[in-house]
Amino acid sequence: MSNPSLLILAGDGIGPEVMVEVRKIIDWFGAKRDLTIDVTEDLVGGAAYDKHGTPLHDDTMAKAQEVDAVLLGAVGGPAYDDLDFSIKPERGLLRLRKEMDLFANLRPAQCFDALADFSSLKKELVAGLDIMIVRELTSGSYFGEPRGIFEENGERVGINTQRYTESEIDRVARSAFELARKRDNRLCSVEKANVMESGILWREVVTKIGAEDYPDVELSHMYADNCAMQLVRNPKQFDTIVTDNLFGDILSDCAAMLTGSLGMLPSASLGVPMENGKPKAMYEPVHGSAPDIAGQGKANPCACILSFAMALRYSYDEGAEADRLEAAVEKVLADGVRTADLMQAGAAKPASTGEMGDAVIAALDASL
């Protein structure tokens, strides 16, 4: 039986730095847990543009289609701001999502006890927070046609089209219902059915699926603007949220900051089943490329490490090892190890990117 496979696309900025720490952890699992993963590496984003003149080479896209999972670091940076929109680093990421048909983006927002004081909200509102946002990722206003900037009546007009088919709503809703069953059996569907026809269709489809196939899951509905308000008023009222591409982008970033640092948050993007029955998948930290600190050893690798933990759970069926890795990160934080993004004024010298990775390795050793 062949080993599970992983394509690493470290990307730009702090991406390569945090990925070094993930490689250490992959090696640890191979050496200490007899879990060997066949890893290949390639370029994406600005790094790919520098070498190939495109943010994602066709050969890299082909590799992504063949492996069990892709782990991406980050893309973009000021050096590429003046490129044509069609070849900006972010287009490589969007192409991966679209061509792999990664329609369900899982964005957990979990507040570790040791970091509850870092949230912009009061500690009692976020301590113990554990939300999962399921964002539709391959349709909606980011991909709908027509789109573009056009001349109309003597002035320029920018157009983006919010478009959803029943089948697109159906498949992401079912993913969210299945996930809710594994969590607290509660699902909140979010749209703008009061002013948008796409929202009306979204609510109708989700309601029908819930009534017919998931009557055991408690389903509620909420308008997107109210959901944003409720996330900062009483976030622990939510468990699993499902929403469209645009609203999911906004709400998941809002939820991310409830936890105290973008440097702590992973994500998974899941797609259609492959021949082995497992979904195509790409995992990536929520944070960006942070070019202002790139190459300085200041980046927090935990989001990328936790993204690999999600790969262990969803792509490799290694839930117990995912739990082990997540517990190791939590122990490191509880022990007071902090990168610069998690330091409070007057605190001791922060840990470097490598020191944080080494601390996670030590916690993994202690778990044996």
Tell me whether residue 225 is one of the annotated catalytic residues.
Answer: yes
Residue 198 Cα to chain centre, angstroms: 24
Catalytic residue among 80, 142, 164, 283: 142
Amino acid at 61: M
Compute φ and ψ for 348, nearest 5 degrees.
Answer: -65, 175
Whether 249 sits among the annotated catalytic residues: the reply is yes
Q: Whole-angstrom Cα distance, residue 251 to residue 107?
A: 10
Which residues are within 8 A (CB) of 218 and not within 5 positions of it... i.e. 6 or more apart? 185, 186, 187
Q: What angle do CA 175, 177, 180 make, to 5 degrees?
A: 110
Among the listed residues 130, 184, 253, 358, the single catalytic one is 253
Question: How long is the chain?
Answer: 368
Known catalytic membership, residue 253: yes
For residue 15, give Cα distances in angstroms to 12, 24, 80, 296, 316: 5, 15, 16, 12, 23
Q: Which two tokens stand for residue 8?
A: 């690493």
Q: Which of 12, 42, 68, 249 is catalytic?
A: 249
27, 50, 184, 225: the catalytic one is: 225
Of the candidates 12, 49, 68, 192, the residue annotated as catalytic is 192
Q: Among all chains, which residue has been given the structure tokens 């790919």?
A: 48
Residue with tokens 């969210």: 176
Active site residues: 142, 192, 225, 249, 253
